[in-house]
A = this chain, B = another copy of it.
Amino acid sequence: MRKVAIVGIGQTPFGKHYEKDTRELAEEAIFKAMKDAGAKAEDIQIAFVGSVGMDPSTPMMIGQIALEQMGIKGIPITRLENACASGSNALHLAWLAIQSGMYDVALALGVEKMSTPTIEQARMAMRLGGGDALLEGSMGLFPPGIFAMIAQIYMEKYDARREDLAMVSVKNHKHASLNPLAQYQREVSLEEVLNSRPVSWPLGVLDCCPISDGAACAILASEEATRRFSGIPVWIKASVQVSGKYNDLEDLRPDTTIKAGELAYKMAGIGPEEIDFAEVHDCFSFAEIMHYEDLGFCKRGEGARMIREKKTFLGGEIPVNTSGGLLAKGHPLAATGIAQAYEAVLQLRGGAGKRQVENAKFGLTHNGGGFRHGDVGIVVVHIFGKEK
């Protein structure tokens, strides 16, 4: 396996960008990542562009269209879609392309514009519904309902209270208040979350990630090629993508994250106890608690205690979602996976400012997408390291 590093990262502010279209958001992230890497257009040999296409004005081949503006053309460019994990899918394929030995420098981009409400967008949301839109979508099994059901079973079976779920949102908003690129840069109180408009019990609106626009970009290089760039390299110790198995569900809980995590730890040659911080897919507050367990940060049933004891707050044992996570940084679908890598790179470079995790050596990112027959359609886990 070749050693691969991220040598440049860029991210737009996440939020509502009514004045910008998909292409403009993409261009901003590309420009920032290229500048951070100290890269020229000719350096980029292959590109992967995640875009679900929620904005109906997103053109086909958005990759070619956005990259051309930076002079990046002629090379193989692939636009891909994998629901909420499209960005991580792009990152994984950029890494895989370098593994092939045929490329040394690859670009991964994720971009999404969701703030333009149209009939098409509503229909897209329908499609997102259950993964199997015909079966599950028509029964109202949309993501909030699915996670609410799993949360209810969990709360009945394990030591977890409504307040524990809400505390995840409190934490992530607190972290986001330290992130100048986050969509919501203000803290929320436990009471605010508990009293927020109900969506699907036990989840209130402040337990759910928002509608966001944004883009993020990463430049990847093989070990030899890192020398071409001025950006401080952060090493990809593991890159794993899996899809759901759609069976053997215990407590209605998919095991996709458990499998992706196991494979990633094996590839990186480290265990969860060595992870210093993590960005996990907190599409709903409860999801984060489930992921603590599935990624091995604690045992099954102990996730709620982790947040109650503030172990995942900044300054705690293993800070989770220091960027603010999907809940407060925002969740522009295809941008999310690469924005997680952006946070990991900042942290491992020691450049995360007020939200810096001290002495961080390893960071993990976890991005999931889509639901189908109770299981997650895709999970991607990356482990990043400060050292080669």
Contacts from A to B (Cβ < 8 Å) = 1, 52-53, 56-61, 64-65, 68, 73-83, 89, 92-93, 96-97, 99-102, 119-120, 123-124, 127-128, 131-133, 241-246, 259, 369-370, 372-373, 377-378
Take A61-B82, A61-B83, A96-B100 as given contacts and tell me if A73 and B244 are in contact as well, using a CB distance cutoff of 8 Å.
Answer: yes
**Distance in Å: Cβ of A128 to nearest Cβ of chain B:** 6
The answer to whether B61 touches A259, judged by C-beta atoms less than 8 angstroms apart, is no
- How far, in whole Å, are A59 and B100 apart by their CA atoms in the complex? 31
Question: What are 18 A-B residue pairs whose CB atoms fall within 8 Å in the complex?
Answer: A1-B102, A56-B123, A59-B132, A59-B133, A60-B82, A60-B83, A61-B83, A64-B131, A64-B243, A64-B372, A64-B378, A65-B131, A68-B373, A73-B244, A76-B92, A96-B100, A99-B101, A99-B102
- How far, in whole Å, are A338 and B207 apart by their CA atoms in the complex? 44
Whose C-beta in chain B lies nearest to the C-beta of A97? Answer: B96
Take A73-B244, A131-B59, A243-B73 as given contacts and tell me if A78 and B93 are in contact as well, using a CB distance cutoff of 8 Å.
Answer: yes
The answer to whether A377 touches B64, judged by C-beta atoms less than 8 angstroms apart, is yes
The answer to whether B259 touches A65, judged by C-beta atoms less than 8 angstroms apart, is no
The answer to whether B97 touches A378, judged by C-beta atoms less than 8 angstroms apart, is no
Enumerate chain B residues within 8 angstroms of A75, measured Cβ to Cβ: 242-243
The answer to whether B73 touches A246, judged by C-beta atoms less than 8 angstroms apart, is yes
Whose C-beta in chain B lies nearest to the C-beta of A76? Answer: B241
The answer to whether B127 touches A74, judged by C-beta atoms less than 8 angstroms apart, is no
Enumerate chain B residues within 8 angstroms of A259, measured Cβ to Cβ: 74
Enumerate chain B residues within 8 angstroms of A369, measured Cβ to Cβ: 60-61
The answer to whether B80 touches A81, judged by C-beta atoms less than 8 angstroms apart, is yes
The answer to whether B65 touches A132, judged by C-beta atoms less than 8 angstroms apart, is yes
**Distance in Å: Cβ of A244 to nearest Cβ of chain B:** 6
